[in-house]
Structure 1
């Protein structure tokens, strides 16, 4: 495992997401997972963590949910 992969695996957010996924999908029974993202740093970071934890052959099961309410003045 290279240094970047090791840092990823040791991050507390990754460990917590792995713990929650193991409760949701016991025995690696990966299923479709909808992830609501705002486009902000926190939700995009969560999406990146989940993409890193889901097995490559199951990443098509990750569904990103986003709706722009146009509430920000951007």
Structure 2
């Protein structure tokens, strides 16, 4: 009798989970893509200048750390 109860409850649980999955509707459609952002080439020269200055600063600070007089 215990085997019958376990099997019966297992089948009922499986059937309820199948009905739950099948009862759901299709997912909503994906939202439209966002509008394009700002143009990347608007301030490209300013970005290059900042990158060069930052690179020079890093190289200079590294050389100061390694060339300390003893």
Same fold (TM over 0.5): no
Structure ranking higher in helix proportion: 2
Q: What TM-score do the two structures reach when normalised by structure 2? A: 0.26
Which has the higher Rg, Structure 1 or Structure 2? 2
Structure ranking higher in strand proportion: 1
